[in-house]
Structure 1
Amino acid sequence: MFYHEDTLQYEVEVEEPDPQFAKMLQQAVGGAEGEMRVALQYMFQAFAVPREHEEYRTLLMETAVEELGHIEMLATAITKNLEGAPEEAREAAREDAVIDAMMSHGQPRQALSSGLHAMPVDSNGVPFTGNYIVASGNLAADMYANIMAESTGRLLATRLYEMTDDPGMEDMLSYMIARDTMHQNQWHAAVDSLGEHLPVPASFPQEKENQDYSYTFMSTFDEERPDPETPWTQGESPDGKGRFDYGRQPGNGFADVEAMIEEMHNEVN
């Protein structure tokens, strides 16, 4: 169950509207690194957490709802950037300054399809897809996915920060970058709290895998090369269950494809 308060999570102000920056902000809404992705990712992960691990369900759901607030902030920022046009655009096209700026620098669909408001799309106008969401049902796997999501999200926010000199947008993005810092750290803390969980899934018996290859870094070069002596070719593995070594691909067997059933009509001429 969700409740909505008709105030923004954090103040959003735009001093000089910029349709081009509104287009860039769409990536933070509906892009692969955006807030729709993490909000739904954390929500669907939470749905899968059993009641005996309520603390993780609460952690995920609280963060999911916070991310919904970030979508609202960004949508507000996009609208405010679309409400006006730069001074030079107003001088060049007094009658249709906003539309002129939109067609020249922004996302035309923001004018044509949504009436100068945010859309659930990325900066190229590509609709948001649920394929961005990772919700595996394995808590450890999901936490690692969340660390990646917050890392790329923070990277996007810092890039957007560098693309604007509007004080209001810098302030909003500074807040969002700070929250990404917190979320990265909370997911790391959650992973650490899980105890022994590597390799994921830890519940699968390792004796069932071919342990001759469990900790070997495989060189795929055609010619044989010496061990480069890196942290992933030597020393103890992070899971503490093996030691890294350096080897080559086994190179056994052939791709012997059997003939398909007659009904597939896969003739070979």
Structure 2
Amino acid sequence: MFEHRKGLQFEVKVERPDPMLARQIQEVLGGQFGEMSVMMQYLFQGWNCRGEEKYKDMLMAIGTEEIGHVEMLCSLISQLLDGATPSAQDEAAKNPTMAAIMGGVNPQHLIVSGLGATPKDSNGVPWNAGYIIASGNLLADFRANLNAESQGRLQVARLYHMTSDEGVRKVFRKMLARDRYHQYQWMAAIKELEEKKGVVVPASFTPEDELEAQPHAYEFYNLEEGNGAKNGLWAEGMAPDGTGEFVFLDNPEPMGQAPKPAVPPTSLHNDIDMP
């Protein structure tokens, strides 16, 4: 059960309207790594979680918090759009300098949503469920969550430097702080699962199950000009799970046959000469 409270998680109060910034903020609302994505990702992972209750509880708690972040951004965008009208945009366009400033305004904020936020990114591309990951494997999902929080915080940090509005920056600082905590959270959960299950996903398919293919799990194929990639922990030393030593293979040779597909029938008109 969800309960909505009228108060926002943190105060949202901009210094002045800025329709262009409102458009830019749409990215961290409805973009691939926006708040809508992490909200839906955590909630679906939580709803689908089977087993240890603490992981489900954690997912549902953070997913519910992200609903609040979506609400904060909607409020932020709404305030930045206060006073924007089609006529004002037309008038501004008469001045070349103002036209350059207003040129980034999202027309859908005027035409479609009536000065409100939309579930889309900064270019008007609708949010879609293909952005989220909920695989049923906790370690795989938590690694995806760490990436989502890393990318989301990166984008908010970039937006922070794109405005001098202290009210907007105050909101961003709160979001940056929470996203930093969420990265800590996923790192801790990942570490716990790795200690319990091992570092490779899925742990239930062991190296021994790979049979004759197991040696290839430790080989770095140098398919790049030069050998700069040789100097890294991925190319020498023990594998993270302790099951083998990495090997750097310079100029690896193909180990399989050259494919020789059958010639299709002439009725398919493939323009391939018959033997």
Same-fold status (TM-score > 0.5)? yes
Aligned residue in 1 for 2:96 = none
SS of the equivalent of 1:105 reads coil
* Aligned-residue CA RMSD (Å): 2.3
Counterpart check, 1:212 vs 2:211? no
How far 1:23 sits from its partner (Å)?
0.3
Given that 2:19 and 2:102 are in contact with CA atoms closer than 8 Å, whether structure 1 keeps it comes out as no
SS of the equivalent of 1:214 reads helix
**What is the CA–CA distance in structure 2 between the aligned matches of 1:25 and 1:135, rounded to whole Å?**
26
Alignment-mate amino acid for residue 201 of structure 1: P
Structure 1 unpaired stretches of 5+: 94-99
SS of the equivalent of 2:220 reads strand
> Which TM-score applies when normalising by structure 2?
0.86
Aligned residue in 1 for 2:257 = 253
Structure 2 unpaired stretches of 5+: 93-98
How far 1:259 sits from its partner (Å)?
4.9
SS of the equivalent of 1:217 reads strand
Aligned residue in 2 for 1:40 = 40
Given that 2:31 and 2:121 are in contact with CA atoms closer than 8 Å, whether structure 1 keeps it comes out as yes
How far 1:222 sits from its partner (Å)?
6.7
The total of aligned residue pairs comes to 256
**What is the CA–CA distance in structure 2 between the aligned matches of 1:116 and 1:106, rounded to whole Å?**
11
**What is the CA–CA distance in structure 1 between the aligned matches of 2:47 and 2:102, rounded to whole Å?**
42
Q: 1:263 to 1:78 in 2, by over 3 A?
A: farther
**What is the CA–CA distance in structure 1 between the aligned matches of 2:263 and 2:6, rounded to whole Å?**
64
Given that 1:18 and 1:84 are in contact with CA atoms closer than 8 Å, whether structure 2 keeps it comes out as no
**What is the CA–CA distance in structure 1 between the aligned matches of 2:8 and 2:263, rounded to whole Å?**
62
How far 1:101 sits from its partner (Å)?
9.6
Aligned residue in 1 for 2:133 = 134
Q: Percent identity, aligned pairs only?
A: 42
SS of the equivalent of 1:246 reads strand
> Which TM-score applies when normalising by structure 1?
0.88
Alignment-mate amino acid for residue 153 of structure 2: R
Counterpart check, 1:235 vs 2:234? no
Q: 1:41 to 1:264 in 2, by over 3 A?
A: farther
Deviations along 1:26-71, one digit per CA (max 9) or x if unpaired, are: 0011001100000001111112211x31100010111001011000
